[in-house]
Amino acid sequence: MAAMGGAAPASGASGKGQALLPFVILLFFAWGFSTCLVDLVAPALKSLFSLSNFETGLTQFAFFIGYAVVSLPASFLLAKVGYLRTVVVGLLIMMVGCLMFAPAANAGVYEGFLAALFVLASGITILQVAANPLVAILGKSETASARLTFAQFLNSVGTFLAPFVGAALILSHIEKAPDPATLTAAQLAVVRHTQAQAVQTPYLIIAGVLLALAVLFWLLRKNPAAPRAEKAVGVGEMLGMLKYPRLAFAVLCIFVYVGAEVAIGTYMTTYLSQPSTLGLTLAKAGSMVAWYWGGATIGRFFGSFILAKVSPGKVLTVASLAAIVLILVSAFSVGPQAGYALIAIGFFNSIMFPTIFTLGIEGMGHRTPQASGLLCMAIVGGAIIPPATGFLGDHFGLGLAFLLPAVCYLVIAAFGWSARKPAPALFAQDELAPAPAE
């Protein structure tokens, strides 16, 4: 997600500044991995605390609400202390969130895990506010999009690997537990404590990696070639941009897109483990989620060529309609095709976030930073749509519950068609804020 502050400084960092680039790009992998791991934590907590689908969705609410709460303060922090110090703050807050899994596991309290997820997401939000523009400005402006595309690729690699790790370290331990109905209250407490320890393990490992990265960026903070951030933009000024219809429509689409993508990822493990779909164990179903996110990595590769030749709005419309068809196939069928149809949606998700974003800021000129801020705040859709999908799943089954994400994709298809032609320039051109990584 792009920074919510003022316009980024001009590109063209010196050689010393470009030496920072590999370290900054590593951050994209770190938050991609950490974000996607939540998809494996959700079914683990569902089993651990015997949660409903709605309650399971609260894990994503606790995580993604951080984008709405922390994004604006993060932009002011960036303006106050600069890029590299903001990165350090984000990494340390992420580390604290990871460490909070330990007391939550020891206490066996669901709300403790939710608090840990919120703090983790807060750190990720701060990190993204600084890292996205930093990648764009550490080098020549002509190659900024190439650097961001590579950074997004590493972000996707992180989302692809996380399900395998989560399945091995978390879900494999959860599914080995005995049936709670056969246990006494004391035995059940011991089992749940053991299961909770499995949930905390990968996060404690991540905490160590984050600490190392924080130390690294602290040592790099005084690099004379590091760019300086500019003045942050007030929330009132950003909200005033909603009077422009195309931007407002794009904000709505970011909201529903992130919500739909996260909702499918959240409940996919449970869905694929049902006898009516693939009937997999939790661990195997969790590892299959990797292919949902891996599809986005493959789709971005092909999408970059297609978008260079075809109207982005038309491509977005076709991808959205394809996602709707796959959801309908999954919802109204059984067996392997129901499961694999849902997994295949990841391929068509690949181009949606960056395409919606770039279509939304098209024509904004020097007001692009404010438009970017609004689009970033709309990521809070990941906090709203998943619990709503879970609520429907509790009452109608998960297959039919996925019709809610289908409605989300229908909104995106309508936006893509409405934005199939270039937008008029509403403001004079200036230094543009970079497109964000998802």
DSSP of 275-297: TTTT---HHHHHHHHHHHHHHHH
Q: Looking at domain 15-418, which CATH architecture does it have?
A: Up-down Bundle (1.20)
pLDDT of residue 325: 98
Other beta carbons less than 10 A from residue 14's beta carbon: 12
pLDDT of residue 298: 86
pLDDT of residue 65: 92
Closest CA to 328 of 337, 315, 317: 337
Q: Are 339 and 278 within 8 A, CB to CB? A: yes
**Phi and psi for 232 in degrees, rounded to 5?**
-75, 160
pLDDT of residue 271: 96
Residue with structure tokens 């340390």?
Answer: 92
pLDDT of residue 261: 95
Closest CA to 121 of 247, 34, 240, 5: 34
What residue ranges of the chain have pLDDT lower than 70? 1-18, 136, 140-149, 173-183, 188, 223-234, 366, 368-369, 428-438
Q: CB-based contacts of 161: which residues, under 8 Å, 6+ apart?
A: 33, 290
Domain residues of the chain, as ranges?
Answer: 15-418
Q: Report d(CA 141, CA 123) in Å as an integer.
A: 28
**Phi and psi for 173 in degrees, rounded to 5?**
-80, -35
pLDDT of residue 14: 46
Residue with structure tokens 């936006």?
Answer: 415
pLDDT of residue 9: 42
- Six-digit token pair at 288? 């299959």
pLDDT of residue 432: 42
pLDDT of residue 115: 95
**Phi and psi for 5 in degrees, rounded to 5?**
-85, -160
Q: Which residues of 31-57 are buried (b: 16+ CB within 10 A; e: fewer)?
A: bbbbbbbbbbbbbbbbbbbebebbbbb
Q: CB-based contacts of 298: which residues, under 8 Å, 6+ apart?
A: 347, 350
Q: Give the CA dihedral 422, 426, 431, 432, nearest 10 degrees.
A: -50
As a whole number of Å, the CA-based R_g of the chain is 21
Q: Are 287 and 167 within 8 A, CB to CB? A: yes
Question: Length of the chain, please?
Answer: 438
Q: Report d(CA 53, CA 274) in Å as an integer.
A: 14
